[in-house]
Amino acid sequence: MRVVAGIIFNDEGKVLIGRKRWGKRKGLWEFPGGKVKEGEEEKDSLKRELLEELGLEIEVGNKIMEVNFRYPDTFVALVAYSCRAKGKPSKMVAHSDIRWVPLKEIIAYDLCGADREIARKFLR
């Protein structure tokens, strides 16, 4: 499964993370994003997912990295992009909580496996 995630910065330099509302990783934190639809460009997918799930418009920057991660039930190729928020989230569809946190504090959250790998590599 190919998934995109936004490392979304606000004007204060904090990064947005969301707590998963449902699914096998319910309650864990992640960088917001979602599945790439067939025929869809990754950056377009990320913009669509964040608008649908958070009501948040973003500017998508450069690809930061890709992590291949095997969960017990699936394999995920997670592609992370640097993003800039154009405002504030106005809804929560896939998340029960969202937070803007300093980048150095993200690793203290109980992140999904693939997101944890992105955070570890990004913080080096």
- Largest Cα separation within the chain, whole Å, is 37
- Identity (one letter) of the amino acid at 33? G
| Chain position carrying tokens 């029960």 | 96
pLDDT in the model for residue 40: 96
pLDDT in the model for residue 71: 94
Alpha carbon distance 99, 102 (integer Å): 10
Give yes or no for residue 124 having a pLDDT over 80.
no
Beta-sheet strands, E only, within the chain: 2-9, 14-20, 29-30, 33-35, 58-70, 75-85, 95-102
- CA distances in angstroms from 19 to 28, 38, 42, 97, listed in the order given: 5, 26, 22, 5
Give yes or no for residue 123 having a pLDDT over 80.
no
Name the β-bridge partners of 85.
58
Half-sphere exposure at residue 53, Cβ-oriented, CA atoms within 13 angstroms: 24
pLDDT in the model for residue 118: 93
pLDDT in tens, 57-106: 999 999 999 999 999 999 999 999 999 999 899 999 999 999 999 988 99
Q: Does the domain made of 2-122 have the CATH classification 3.90.79.10?
A: yes
Alpha carbon distance 18, 93 (integer Å): 10
Q: Is residue 116 very low, low, confident or very high in pLDDT (cuts 50, 70, 90)?
A: very high
pLDDT in the model for residue 121: 84
Sequence ranges of the domains in the chain: 2-122
- Closest by CA to 37, choosing from 69, 64, 3, is 3
pLDDT in the model for residue 31: 97
Joined together, the tokens standing for residue 41 give 């460009």
pTM (2 d.p.): 0.93
pLDDT in tens, 13-51: 899 999 999 888 999 999 999 999 999 999 999 999 999
